Amino acid sequence: MVSLLVQTKVCTLQNSFPPNFVARGDFVIGGIFPLHYNQEMPDLNCTYRPLPVKCNGFDPRAFRWAQTMRLAVEEINQNMDLLSNYTLGYKIFDSCAYPLTGQRAALAVLNGLNEDESPLCSTASPLLAVIGESGSAQSIVVSRVLQPFRIPMISYFSSCACFADREKYPTFFRVIPNDDYQVKAIAQLLVRFNWTWVGLVRGDHEYGRFAVRGLLRELEGTNVCVAYQEMIPLLYNQQKALEIMQVMKNSLAKVVVVFSAEGEMTPFLKDYMTQNITGIQWVASEAWVTASVFTGTEYYPYLGGTIGFGIRKGYISRLHDYLLTINPQRYPNDILVQELWEALYGCSHFPSSATQLPSCTGKEPLLEQHSAYMNTSSPRVAYNVYKAVYAVAHSLHNLLHCQPGRGPFQNNSCAQRNNVLPWQLQHYLQEVSFNINEEEINFDLKGDSVPYYDIINWQRGTRGNIEFVNVGLFDGTKPAGEELVIQEDRIMWAGHQSEVSVSVCSASCLPGSRKAVRRGEPVCCFDCVPCDSGKISNQTNSIECIFCPEDFWSNKERTACIPKKVEFLAYDSLGIALTVISVVGACLTMAVFAVFFYHRSTAIVRVNNSELSFFILFALTLCFLCSLVFIGEPTFWSCMLRHTAFSITFSLCISCILGKTLVVLAAFTATRPGDNIMKWLGPKQQRIVIFSSTLVQVVICAAWLIDDPPYPYRNTEYEHSKIILECSVGSTFAFWCVLGYIGLQACFCFVLAFLARKLPGNFNEAKFITFSMLIFCAVWLAFIPAYISSPGNYADAVESFAILASSFGLLFCLFAPKCYIILLKPEKNTKQHLMGKEKK
């Protein structure tokens, strides 16, 4: 920019950009502020000298920052302890909030003030450091311009994580935390409020790009998914903005994180408010969470409830009074002051028919309500500016107080006081540490400062406006997990609600169900499927249902494992019924026994072989009773007893009947001459027959018990939700042998009785035996399929019933007719009648 014309040896500036504020001093620092937020590009057809880029849209907020820098320098110059005997000067330039114009400011700050100042360009402009810039995109450009000259810069608002690269930005310092901390904080906030489906909107600049990238990195491994990512174009474009709003409207993501600044947010929000979109919970980045432009009442319905991380605030005691001294009367020629007045009071200094604004008197009072400029209660960015200026002053102070021979430079030298070089100042900046308002200020090796944020919530103020309320903090120096402190009860959420908004793709899966990811969709969008039986999930949003341990089963809701119901033929209604029937049967049998015993001398008892009858009755009693063994919890002993007891008593019973049949058969055949079969069937022989045929069954049972006895068994296969306690037969072969033997005996008995049925006599026992055996066989034939197909404990009931039914069958067929005669027809109870020889 400075070109040396050799012929004349006079310096001419290619283009001149005068500073907006200057003050001379022994040491000069530059300041770059976005005093305007809009630019107008000249046309570049190069048929005439291009006009400079025109800056529009005065920004009172940045103007306040610039004034804060001036105040800080003035304070330092008045301070006797800091830089005594030296004065600090400044040159403040406007960057117009745009990288290109930021570059212009950076070059201008390097230049001498004008050609008169250094006509031969022999000395460089005495610039030691630059305070600037605001937006990261501009700071990058400024840093690149200053870098070859090793001039340190301290940014008060550039938080982009990209500056952490010391190789690319070696002279960069900042008094704002690196965005890496902010995205961490935002990620923690999203996780904390369970906002798992969020939208991201950013401006088209380095800041937005790096912040979104950082946030995505932080969200990896959390349960938060990003529904959409949208970018507001650099040159605001309504069509694109409306498209973004359409996306916001259609998405289930009610929480929208925005990395942007007032510049692009203002037109965006204006359009947003016309779209009537409701229910959006904004999460604002530090760049706009404390922007006072949005505090107007008209914004509340749309932006109320916004939450975000604001940079640390501070207190600058003299700022309020200092800002009040700025007015058009005191600075009659300053265009910026006039623009400030225009911006604050809506009046014009150069009334023209075009603008139709009233003209300013210049005496309008500055009030607190002109918050864009006068908001001095909790300066944040202005406080950063203040800190940055002090950081330079303290470093310079340390540099000037270097003790010769103990300096930090080569050979322990110090910097020359009358020729301090910027890189020497950088060395001291890196080391500086001082306090303002008890806050320690220093820079780490990357030039970053302490990561601390306030959590700001936008609540309704008394006038219906928006107020920034502090509801917590994020302290990045705390150990992981303790950084975020939120006073939830103080937060007002979007839509003037005290309940946290919900922003999820799918509602959470309740206990008892699990998440099932939808194919091709993010993990946050899922369906909930109920757990299968036998599996449970006891937490919301379970990924998998877990199997219940052995002997446990899921409850109906599938939320807990409960011990499996243990079932066996217990003394419930069925068990009691069986018990009653068997006891009744046993009693009945004993009653018959009593009747027979009482009438033992009568013909019918004697004819029918009283001893065998008593045996049968005894065996039948046992048969009735042995069905009781099937009821109750199966144990080692009861299992062994069940089948053996039943089979032996039945064998005994049928053996007796068999004996009787044989006797009947023999008695009647014996009447034929020449037969003395009766000799072979005396009481002794009868007993032997009974005994030996029962013995066979006893032997089978003994072999069964010794080799492979029945044992109690917990059957879990039949029904998974229950444990059925049953007796496993052990050897199935033995089981069927036992049954088979009884069957064989019964059949044999049946055949014999069948043969004897036609024998003469009024009272033919054989008829009844045939009949009883028929019933017996029928019962047991029916039993087999029923037994095999009955589940677990019902098999026992079936067997028990079969025992009872067949016992009753025997009892009735064999004894009912006799009892009938004994008790009701005693006149027929004679030998003659029984033999059918009674005279009619």
Residue numbers at the binding site for ligand TRP (CB under 6 A): 134-136, 157-160, 203, 205, 207, 260-261, 263, 286-287
CB of 196: closest distance to ligand TRP in angstroms? 27
CB closer to ligand TRP, 256 vs 612: 256
Task: Please count the other Cβ atoms lying within 10 Å of the Cβ belonging to residue 506.
Answer: 19
Token representation of residue 172:
């960069």
Are 136 and 159 in contact, with CB atoms under 8 Å apart? yes
CB closer to ligand TRP, 181 vs 207: 207
CB of 497: closest distance to ligand TRP in angstroms? 29
CB of 207: closest distance to ligand TRP in angstroms? 3
The distance in angstroms from the start CA to the end CA of the chain is: 158
CB of 221: closest distance to ligand TRP in angstroms? 26
Cross-strand pairs, 225: 197
CB closer to ligand TRP, 287 vs 548: 287
CB of 210: closest distance to ligand TRP in angstroms? 9
Are 776 and 806 in contact, with CB atoms under 8 Å apart? yes
CB closer to ligand TRP, 258 vs 316: 258
CB of 510: closest distance to ligand TRP in angstroms? 42
CB of 32: closest distance to ligand TRP in angstroms? 12
CB of 288: closest distance to ligand TRP in angstroms? 8
Q: Residue 637: which H helix or E strand, with range?
A: helix 636-670
Cα three-residue angle 320-326-330, rounded to 5 degrees: 145
CB closer to ligand TRP, 139 vs 693: 139
Token pair 């006149």 in the structure block, residue: 827
CB of 452: closest distance to ligand TRP in angstroms? 15
CB of 503: closest distance to ligand TRP in angstroms? 24
Q: Residue 453: which H helix or E strand, with range?
A: strand 452-460
CB closer to ligand TRP, 207 vs 526: 207
User: What gap in Å lies between CA 562 and CA 584, rounded to an integer?
Assistant: 39
Q: Which amino acid makes up residue 731?
A: S
CB closer to ligand TRP, 159 vs 800: 159
Q: How far is CA 563 from CA 213, 329, 718, 790, in A?
A: 51, 89, 16, 24
Question: Cα–chain-centroid distance for residue 529?
Answer: 15
CB closer to ligand TRP, 169 vs 493: 169
Q: Which of 693, 664, 658 is nearest to 677 (CA)?
A: 664
CB closer to ligand TRP, 95 vs 651: 95
DSSP strand pairing (197-203 vs 255-259): parallel
User: What gap in Å lies between CA 496 and CA 491, rounded to an integer?
Assistant: 10
Q: How far is CA 446 from CA 129, 130, 430, in A?
A: 17, 17, 9
Q: Which amino acid makes up residue 401?
A: H
Are 453 and 178 in contact, with CB atoms under 8 Å apart? no
DSSP strand pairing (565-567 vs 722-728): parallel
CB closer to ligand TRP, 32 vs 548: 32
CB of 77: closest distance to ligand TRP in angstroms? 29
CB of 264: closest distance to ligand TRP in angstroms? 7
CB of 53: closest distance to ligand TRP in angstroms? 17
CB of 261: closest distance to ligand TRP in angstroms? 3
User: What gap in Å lies between CA 69 and CA 165, rounded to an integer?
Assistant: 27
Query: CB under 8 Å to 275, separation ≥6 — which residues?
Result: 242, 245, 249
CB of 202: closest distance to ligand TRP in angstroms? 9
User: What gap in Å lies between CA 634 and CA 726, rounded to an integer?
Assistant: 6
Token representation of residue 507:
């509602």
Token representation of residue 679:
């000799």
CB closer to ligand TRP, 157 vs 172: 157
Q: What are phi and psi of 715, to 5 degrees?
A: -90, 115
CB of 274: closest distance to ligand TRP in angstroms? 23
CB of 135: closest distance to ligand TRP in angstroms? 3
Q: Within a 13 Å sphere around the CA of 718, how many CA atoms are in the beta-carbon half? A: 20
Are 748 and 657 in contact, with CB atoms under 8 Å apart? no
Helix axes 60-78, 381-400, angle to 10 degrees: 30
Cross-strand pairs, 723: 566
CB closer to ligand TRP, 160 vs 473: 160
Cis peptide before 133 (omega within 30 of 0): yes
Cis peptide before 40 (omega within 30 of 0): no
Q: How far is CA 421 from CA 111, 128, 409, 766, in A?
A: 16, 7, 12, 136
CB closer to ligand TRP, 34 vs 710: 34
259 SS3 class: strand
CB closer to ligand TRP, 207 vs 383: 207
User: What gap in Å lies between CA 795 and CA 787, rounded to an integer?
Assistant: 5
User: What gap in Å lies between CA 307 and CA 679, rounded to an integer?
Assistant: 115
Task: Please count the other Cβ atoms lying within 10 Å of the Cβ belonging to residue 584.
Answer: 13
CB closer to ligand TRP, 92 vs 261: 261
CB closer to ligand TRP, 183 vs 607: 183
Query: CB under 8 Å to 236, separation ≥6 — which residues?
Result: 264, 267, 268
Query: CB under 8 Å to 38, separation ≥6 — which residues?
Result: 55, 56, 57, 96, 97, 263
CB closer to ligand TRP, 207 vs 646: 207
